[in-house]
Amino acid sequence: MNTEITYAQSLDEQDELKSFREEFYISNDLIYFDGNSLGLLSKRAEKAVNTLMESWKKHAIDGWSEGAHPWFYLSENLGKMSADLIGARPEEVIVTGSTTTNLHQLVSSFFKPKGKKTKILADELNFPSDIYALKSQLQLKGLDPEDHLIQVKSKNGNTLETQDIIDAMTDEVALIVLPAVLYRSGQILDMERLTKEAHKRGILIGFDLCHSIGSIPHQLADWQVDFAFWCTYKHLNGGPGSVGGLYVNQKHFGTSPGLAGWFGSAKDKQFDMKHTLTQAEHAGAFQIGTPHVLSAAPLLGSLEMFQEAGIRRIRKKSLELTNYLMELIEVELADDGFKIVNPRDGQTRGAHIFLEHPEATRICKALKADSVIPDFRNPNGIRLAPVALYNTFEEVWQMVQILKRIMKEESYKKYENSRGVIA
């Protein structure tokens, strides 16, 4: 293992995506490894917001039909720009709502308990918001979550076994909702196999793509995944609270939305103002309310970059960055008590690594004091996400050297062993 800075610099020289770093607002005094929580602002995203602001200024209400990006069709156009990232047909994708709102919409549309098929299958490692939504959807149907929500157990607290999930697909399960990538450990679930096994048993299945969209390729249409949903402020760099997205396989077009709203209308019928919904004949039917135009605007610029870079090139560099990071940690921090608990295999590892350490809280505080931005996960986890579009191999090298010094000097001990309100 070459641990010299010159090796990292040589990798950066060979990086075919290196020009994209110039597209982002990056502080030279900061190493930002938290792009899996909130991506950085790009100049194109900023320009796109200004363009939409200008259309409001110039056209007022006519901005719905005029200007560079008419607002009436914005959600559909952003859906088309997102489709290749998840391996979907353009008409299967819509940019709308938020992660949890879209999950509520999809579960209310596709969870139809009947006979003994009355249960939802999830897992115990998913992000809490998904579980809250699933429990509330069960309650809305008069079902007790204690009895009707099955959560697959993890054998090690960090990853899930594919066979354990399949074994939980009993004849009582009507719907499955799982993360594509586990938010803590970064494990990629085998979406293709899980979908195939679910459909063998007559079960619909959907995935939360929050930690996978923009970081790994998908083939949702080919795999026949029934639905998916995601946020856009992590790897897609859409900004805090940017508008989410959802995918519905074309075989489900015509399904009535569980939560109907006027933006789910067919475009040519929407302003007829009838009290009977004529729903769109594509994923747009699952929209609820008026698009959040200014919160969707950054995606016009951000998704343009993804189209240029290509998700496969992004994935290739991402794997190289995380491989290099893990190798450096194992060599440079071998005696410092860090445990790498994310999957090592690139086939099952997402775009971040996950370290465990008994002093994780204080170590994260020390890193931030030394101008490195990690992500702490209670009780003892440190997530590090070198992002392919804007992080460098030299930054990976620098971060490990800073962490090595923190551990050698024990400078983390001057911080309290308690997390902040936001971790």
Binding residues for pyridoxal 5'-phosphate: 99-100, 127-130, 208, 211, 233, 262, 290
Whole-number Å distance between alpha carbons of 128 and 20: 33
Residues belonging to the binding site are 99-100, 127-130, 208, 211, 233, 262, 290
What does DSSP say about strands 149-152 and 119-123: parallel, antiparallel, or unpaired? parallel
* Partner residues linked to 152 by β-bridges: 123
What is the identity of the amino acid at 12? D
For residues 151 and 123, is the Cβ–Cβ distance under 8 A? yes
Whole-number Å distance between alpha carbons of 411 and 207: 41
Element (H, E) at 409: helix 393-409
Whole-number Å distance between alpha carbons of 285 and 307: 25
- Displacement of CA 239 from its chain's centroid (Å): 13
Whole-number Å distance between alpha carbons of 384 and 36: 8
- Displacement of CA 361 from its chain's centroid (Å): 24
For residues 122 and 267, is the Cβ–Cβ distance under 8 A? no
* Partner residues linked to 205 by β-bridges: 176
Give which of 227, 177, 171 is closest to 200, Cα–Cα: 171
Whole-number Å distance between alpha carbons of 238 and 301: 9
